[in-house]
Amino acid sequence: MNEEKLLKRIVINPKIMLGKPVIKGTRLTVELIVEKVAYGETIENLKKDYPFLTEDDIRAALLYAAKCVACEEVYVS
């Protein structure tokens, strides 16, 4: 799946989870998914814990997080 299609799976709506980015159609935040992956959770286990979640949803969350970090500006003094 290409980048554009993956990123369309992430939505931001101030009425859902206080505007945090979530998987479209859910209240599952990108933050939660990325944190679980960082602590060693596998894609298969995430899909078991959240049956409505697809592998592309997880990849979309990781891609979204990577894009956010790529946009950060670093200032060194």
Mean pLDDT of the chain: 96
Residue 27 placed within a domain: yes
Q: Tell me the backbone φ, ψ of residue 47, rounded to 5 degrees.
A: -65, -30
CATH of the domain at 62: 1.10.10.10
Is residue 76 predicted with pLDDT exceeding 90?
no
Residue 36 lies in a domain: yes
Predicted confidence band of residue 65 (pLDDT cuts 50, 70, 90): very high
Q: Determine the pLDDT at residue 32.
A: 98
Indicate whether 76 belongs to any domain: no
The answer to the question of residue 75 being in a domain is no
Dist CA 77 CA 64 (whole Å): 29
21 found inside a domain: yes
Its domain, for residue 43, covers 3-70
Contact 58, 37 (CB under 8 A): yes
The letter for the amino acid at 12 is: I
